[in-house]
Amino acid sequence: MRKAPTQEKTLARFWGKVNKTETCWLWIGAGDALGYGRFYFNGHLMLAHRFSYELAKGAVPIGLQLDHLWRVPACVNPDHLEAVTQSVNLKRGLTGKVNNPSTLATHCPHGHPYDELNTHVNRQGKRECRACHRENTRIRRGSIKRRASNYQNGGKA
């Protein structure tokens, strides 16, 4: 029967994978494709920044998730993390061009600019072009009217 690791061994293993710089505490152990550190604790794979946050500040409240305030996914410094709603995390992530390549585009696929007047952030936290949305709404409403008039005329144009 294998013994469970002691708390001291677990902490030594964790901190052995952290490089503390002047600002961030960078995870140098295993990670995922997005740069977030992964750490095995009590037989479960968990996010390294979550482990660090819970060590320092306690459990993340139910319904909240951790937001990297400096937009550095490998950072496990609990002072650089904040427990927020998913909506807040997504909205903040849109401004973080470092870890969100979709925000690097300056124009929509149809050439309209992503600027303050022409950009809407939807409920999922994604940018939408207002000009394209207006155009699609006009087309949709026009096709609905055509279908309704065809129906009223017995299907004859």
**Can you list the domains of the chain with their CATH numbers?**
1-96 (3.90.75.20), 105-157 (no CATH)
Contacts of 32 (CB under 8 A, 6+ apart): 38
pLDDT of residue 13: 95
pLDDT of residue 94: 55
Q: What is the pLDDT of residue 114?
A: 81
Let me know: does 81 contact 66? Beta carbons within 8 Å: yes
Ordered mean pLDDT values, 10 residues apiece, the chain (157 residues): 72 95 93 90 93 95 92 93 88 57 70 85 79 85 55 50
- Please give the structure tokens belonging to residue 88: 């807040």
**DSSP letter (8 states) at residue 151:** H
* Confidence (pLDDT) at 18: 96
For residues 48 and 29, what is the distance between their CA atoms, to the nearest angstrom? 9
Cα–Cα distances in angstroms (integers) from residue 35 to residues 24, 30, 55, 120, in the given order: 14, 9, 21, 28
Give the global pTM: 0.59
